[in-house]
């Protein structure tokens, strides 16, 4: 009990105040107690990262926390998700001087080296949450931008080459042009940071290589030349453009970064990214067409300058040229909501992988070897094999198991354009998987979704490598013969066997997914 309260009690007893006076005294005592609690200290400050600034590479994550009751721990959350506990108890003489009434205030710091480059480029929030020993909490947060090189961490000390760089200096910035980092070229800007007492990278722009001028007979080779030219609409943010470009590169490396039959057919990819602004998208489309004319590709003569419209209106993505015939792949990606979609990038790049294994200058032959002429009506254009493959492999490799499981479950149980689940609709329609054509409107969705389960069934029985073997040998003997040679029976019989298996309860079908994911080959 404080001396003030004790004195008040003694005074009350000495003068013999009436009962109502005792009530008043209780009120006074309560107010004194509240005042004492109000004097308790609980402060938290996240000092780095700095709110509103740009961070990259490896930097500090630091701050301090003090509380009269004592600090139990400081948790760090990244974009709302718990990440780790920060080491607490570092020397902070400045904080100790500011709060002399708090025990151990001089040892209130938390600090660690943090790899900001492990985050994706763009906006992020880091939150420090301090816990006292009595269970109260307080948070401090900072929202900042991350810039990074293609690699999250550069291990090789010789990976950075500044031999051919240019350098310019302004009032606060140092600009370095054409810096070579692990074989890629970047323009880099450094800015003086008082908090860090040094220069920090605040902007990284990768230089996109322009395809060399080549004759139509010798088109550029994407894999060997590293040519990926991007035509982005001005209303799409730089972070989204960077992410879609990175996703495209990741998918290309996954499926085409190794020796395989069609490697030399992996020609240049021209990536057009549209947003919501039709005029900005039109100009991006025009820039793509102008480039085709400059390099002299045969397709330049019929380049559609209105391809952008469907992507502005509907979003989505698609491959709009035939690499084997045209000498390049025109990949259009609609970032309608100014966001990337990694799965969509992986889907489209798998189509590129498929076509790299076909050596023909005839569109019909390319489609036949891609499995698009496998219907009972040989003139029908069907989707099951090419799209089912792209759907399955992009879900398997594009993200984590949770997404893969969710995507495959939805392919069975989701309604999509139908009133009933897709699996139910498939059996209700009674059409064979290989007979579902693009001319049937919304029904073609079944070729994608049930087709992805056909590939899952095939991989479960045959293994992942058998599917790659099919694609990497199909040019030699055509679709039907290659399918029979690689998988041991013709595709129509395989579809019939698959349909019998697909009749099992969904819960049983879904059990194969964990093993498929955990045993990924690449």
pLDDT of residue 22: 37
pLDDT category at 353 given cuts 50, 70, 90 is: very high
DSSP 156: -
11 has pLDDT over 70: no
Which of residues 39 and 380 earns the better pLDDT score?
380
Residue 212 above 50 pLDDT? no
Tokens of 251: 């998918």
pTM of the full predicted structure?
0.59
Query: Is pLDDT at 292 greater than 90 in this prediction?
Result: no
Q: Classify residue 441 by its DSSP letter.
A: G
Alpha-carbon distances, residue 402 vs 286, 408, 451 (angstroms)? 40, 10, 20
Q: What is the pLDDT of residue 513?
A: 97
Distance CA 371, CA 374 (A): 6
Percent pLDDT > 70 in the chain is 83
Of the two residues 227 and 203, the one the predictor is more confident about is 203
Residues linked to residue 65 through DSSP beta bridges, in sequence order: 44
Kindly report, residue by residue over 473-482, the tens digit of the pLDDT: 999 999 999 9
Exposure of 392 in the CB half-sphere (CA atoms within 13 A): 25
In eight-state DSSP terms, residue 36 is H
Position 25 scores a pLDDT of 33
Q: What is the pLDDT of residue 183?
A: 66
Q: Convert the pLDDT of each residue in 79-111 to its tens digit.
A: 999 999 999 999 999 999 999 999 999 999 999
Report yes or no: 71 and 98 within 8 Å, Cβ to Cβ. Answer: no
Q: What are the helix (H) ranges across 257-322?
A: 278-295, 308-314
Cβ-count burial 384-408 (b if 16+ within 10 Å, e if not): bbbbbbbbbbbbbbbeeeeebbebb
Residue 106's pLDDT is: 96
Contact in structure between 274 and 335 (CB atoms under 8 Å): yes
The least confident of 44-53, 103-112, 262-271 is 262-271
Residues in the chain: 522
When pLDDT is averaged across residues 219-229 and rounded to a whole number, the result is 49
Closest by CA to 270, choosing from 205, 200, 334, 222, is 222
Task: Look up residue 195 and give its DSSP letter.
Answer: T
pLDDT of residue 485: 97
Q: With a cut of 60, say whether residue 36 has pLDDT above it.
A: no
Is the pLDDT confidence value at 296 over 60? yes
Query: Residue 14 pLDDT more than 70?
Result: no
Confidence class for position 265, pLDDT limits 50, 70, 90: low
| More confident call, 30 vs 424 | 424
Each domain of the chain, given as residue ranges in start order, spans: 3-38, 42-146, 160-206, 217-356, 363-522
Stretch 144-155: mean pLDDT:
76
Q: Which residues contact 35 (CB under 8 A, 6 or more apart)?
A: none
Going by CATH, does the domain composed of 217-356 fall within 3.40.30? yes
Structure-model confidence comparison of residues 111 and 261, the more confident one: 111
Smallest CA-to-CA distance from 443 within 421, 426, 424, 420 is with 426
Task: Find the mean pLDDT for residues 365-393.
Answer: 96
User: What is residue 227's predicted lDDT score, i.e. its pLDDT?
Assistant: 66
Q: Which residues pair with 174 in a beta bridge?
A: 169, 190
Q: Residues 110, 130: contact at Cβ < 8 Å?
A: no
3-state class of 165 per DSSP? coil
Task: Report CA 294 to chain centroid distance, whole Å.
Answer: 33
Q: pLDDT-based confidence at 298, cuts 50/70/90?
A: low
Q: In this predicted structure, which of 27-41, 156-170, 403-417 has the lowest mean pLDDT?
A: 27-41
Q: In whole angstroms, give the CA distance from residue 29 to residue 22.
A: 10
d(CA 64, CA 513): 46
The 10s digit of each residue's pLDDT in 479-509 is 999 999 999 999 999 999 999 999 999 999 9
Q: Please give the average per-residue pLDDT across 352-359, as a whole number.
A: 92
Average pLDDT rounded to a whole number, residues 259-282: 85
Coil vs helix vs strand at 479: helix
Calculate the CA 473 to chain-centre distance: 32
User: Which of 195, 260, 271, 198 minimizes the C-alpha distance to 230?
Assistant: 271
Place of tokens 């398997």: 396
What mean pLDDT is predicted for residues 445-450? 97
pLDDT of the residue at 33: 37
- What is the per-residue pLDDT for 127? 97
**Least confident among 24-28, 151-155, 430-434:** 24-28
Res 470: pLDDT? 97
Q: What is the per-residue pLDDT for 1?
A: 39
Model confidence band, residue 181 (pLDDT cutoffs 50, 70, 90)? confident
Q: Are 436 and 384 in contact (CB under 8 A)?
A: yes
Cis peptide bond prior to 35, omega within 30° of 0: no
Q: Which residues contact 457 (CB under 8 A, 6 or more apart)?
A: 498, 501, 502
Please tell me the predicted confidence (pLDDT) of residue 187. Answer: 76
pLDDT at 334 over 90: yes
pLDDT band at 152 (very low <50, low <70, confident <90, very high): low
In this prediction, residue 495 carries a pLDDT of 98
Q: Which CATH code for domain 42-146?
A: 2.60.40.10
Q: What is the pLDDT of residue 382?
A: 97
Q: Is the dihedral of CA 402, 427, 457, 373 positive or negative?
A: negative
Contact 333, 348 (CB under 8 A): yes
Confidence of residue 23 (pLDDT cuts 50, 70, 90): very low
The mean predicted confidence, pLDDT, of the chain is 84
């Amino acid at each position: 009990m404080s001396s003030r309260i004790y004195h008040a009690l003694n005074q009350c007893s000495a003068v013999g105040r009436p009962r109502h006076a005792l009530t008043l005294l209780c009120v006074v005592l309560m107010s004194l107690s509240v005042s004492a609690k109000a004097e308790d200290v609980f402060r938290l400050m996240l000092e780095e990262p700095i709110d509103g600034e740009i961070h990259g590479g490896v930097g500090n994550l630091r701050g301090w926390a003090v509380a009269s009751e004592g600090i139990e721990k400081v948790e760090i959350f990244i974009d709302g998700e718990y990440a780790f506990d920060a080491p607490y108890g570092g020397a902070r003489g400045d904080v100790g001087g500011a709060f002399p009434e708090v025990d151990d205030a001089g040892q209130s710091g938390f600090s660690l080296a943090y790899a900001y480059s492990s985050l994706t480029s763009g906006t992020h929030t880091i939150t420090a949450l301090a816990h006292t020993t009595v269970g109260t909490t307080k948070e401090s947060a900072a929202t900042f931008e991350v810039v990074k090189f293609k690699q999250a961490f550069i291990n090789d000390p010789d990976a950075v080459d500044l031999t051919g760089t240019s350098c310019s200096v302004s009032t606060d910035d140092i600009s370095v042009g054409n810096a070579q980092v692990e074989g890629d070229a970047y323009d880099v800007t450094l800015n003086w940071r008082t908090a860090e007492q040094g220069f920090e990278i605040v902007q990284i722009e990768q230089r996109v290589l322009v395809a060399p001028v080549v004759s139509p007979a010798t088109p550029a080779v994407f894999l060997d030349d590293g040519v990926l030219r991007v035509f982005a609409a001005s209303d799409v943010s730089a972070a989204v453009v960077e992410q879609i470009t990175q996703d495209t590169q990741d998918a290309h490396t996954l499926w085409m970064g190794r020796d395989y039959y069609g490697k030399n057919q992996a020609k240049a990819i021209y990536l057009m990214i549209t947003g919501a602004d039709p005029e900005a998208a039109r100009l991006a489309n025009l820039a793509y067409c102008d480039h085709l004319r400059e390099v002299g590709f045969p397709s330049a003569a019929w380049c559609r300058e209105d391809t952008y419209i469907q992507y502005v209106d509907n979003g989505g993505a698609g491959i709009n040229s035939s690499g084997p015939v045209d000498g390049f792949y025109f990949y259009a990606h609609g970032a309608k909501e100014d966001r990337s979609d990694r799965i969509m990038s992986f889907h489209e790049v798998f189509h590129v992988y498929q076509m790299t294994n076909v050596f023909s200058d005839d569109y019909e032959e390319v489609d036949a070897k891609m499995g698009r002429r496998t219907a009972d009506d040989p003139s029908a254009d069907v989707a099951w094999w090419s799209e089912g493959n792209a759907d399955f492999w992009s879900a398997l490799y594009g993200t984590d198991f949770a997404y893969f499981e969710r995507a495959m479950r939805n392919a069975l149980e989701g309604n999509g354009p139908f009133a009933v689940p897709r699996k139910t609709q498939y059996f209700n329609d009674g059409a064979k998987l290989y007979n579902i054509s693009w001319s049937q409107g919304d029904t073609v969705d079944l070729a994608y979704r049930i087709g992805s389960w056909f590939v899952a069934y095939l991989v479960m029985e045959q293994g992942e490598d058998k599917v790659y073997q099919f694609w990497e040998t199909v040019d030699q003997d055509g679709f039907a013969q290659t399918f029979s040679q690689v998988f041991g029976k013709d595709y129509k019989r395989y579809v019939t066997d698959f349909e019998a298996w697909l009749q099992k309860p969904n819960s049983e079908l879904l059990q194969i997914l964990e093993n498929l994911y955990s045993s990924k080959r690449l």
